[in-house]
Amino acid sequence: MESTMHPSDNCTVETKPLYVFYSVVVIVEFVLALPLNLTVIYLFIFKLKFWKTNTNNIFLFNLVLADILLLICLPVKAYSFQMGERRSQNEVVCKAMLFMLFLNRGASIAFLTVISIDRYFNVVHPRKKNFLKILKKSPHISILIWLLLLPLTIPTMLKTFECCNSLGREDENLTTDIFREIVFFTQILIPFIVLVFCTAQIVNRLKKKTVGDRTKLRRAVFLVTSVMLVFSLCFLPCTISRMVLLLVRVKEYPEAEAIAVQVYDGLMCLSYLDCLLDPLVYCLSSTKFQTLYLEHYLPFLIGKDGQPSDSSHSTGNNSNTAPLKHAQRENMATQGTSSAS
């Protein structure tokens, strides 16, 4: 009986040293990302007062909130790996962990996508009325995202997802397994397609912009490109490995499945890296946030002019516009003198 058992029919690992290494990776991610995200959320709440500012800050706050909730799960996952288990043997802990991980990863993906869509409409269709702009004055869209994610996460509570019998093991659970896999893949692949579209459209808009201020467009390009890179690094590898794992599982290749399971778990650990990379999105989204963060935590990086030392392009633009404004003021004064005489 035991010799015919499939590699993923239980949560016990086959190569414990590998999972000990995975646990170290998870711990490093936790140690680096937790203080970073706590400092970010402090600024959003107490300095920026995100609920009083623009919608972009509301989306960013929800993104950092999803990251922090995800980070809470990482010590439990690292402990399970240290014990030689892919997931906790305690059923309640295991299902709670899966629920939290899927909910917060889904939220992270959703808010990264919404931020890119918001920037797409602001840059490519600045004058068009759209559903997103209607909701920009309130946090309703953020609440809606969290509410929509809840029912999509419920299937992870019905049966342990990554350790046992998923898709192709037990016919009576086939419908639940198929729905769970559809949710897993669509919440990654569809947003990725949207991100590619937004990035391509904004880059195309930048190329067509021959006159006027191109700085805003460049920042938009940097933002959507960084979001797509974070997405590609953190979420696409685990999605592809999941496809391979399901393929070898359905084809019943136990030895290949044993390898695929280990690769999948390792790439899932890589996906938690988005908690470290998301702050890059914050800095690219808002110059105000970037300056505020440096002033509070890294003041030695602030130049004598009060601007970040790497923002010479911003000061350069200001210096170029200063003579023009001065000339305009002189012209207005001259016109005023002429009319008075």
Domain extent listing, the chain: 2-310, 312-341
Residue 180: its pLDDT value, please? 80
Architecture in CATH of 2-310: Up-down Bundle (1.20)
Pair of tokens at residue 239: 């999605």
Per-residue pLDDT tens over the stretch 102-118: 888 899 999 888 888 88
Residue 254: its pLDDT value, please? 85
Task: List Cβ neighbours of 233 (8 Å cut-off, separation of 6 or more).
Answer: 270, 273, 277
Which has the closest alpha carbon to 271: 38, 65, 57, 74?
74
Per-residue pLDDT tens over the stretch 164-189: 445 555 555 677 778 888 888 998 99
Positions of the chain with pLDDT under 50:
1-8, 164-165, 311-341
pTM score of the predicted model: 0.79
Q: Are 37 and 275 in contact (CB under 8 A)?
A: yes
Phi-psi region of 303 (alpha: psi -120 to 50; beta: other; left: phi over 0): beta
48: which DSSP letter?
Answer: S
Q: Are 94 and 160 in contact (CB under 8 A)?
A: yes
Residue 74: its pLDDT value, please? 94
Task: List Cβ neighbours of 167 (8 Å cut-off, separation of 6 or more).
Answer: 174, 177, 178, 180, 181, 246, 249, 250
Residue 266: its pLDDT value, please? 94
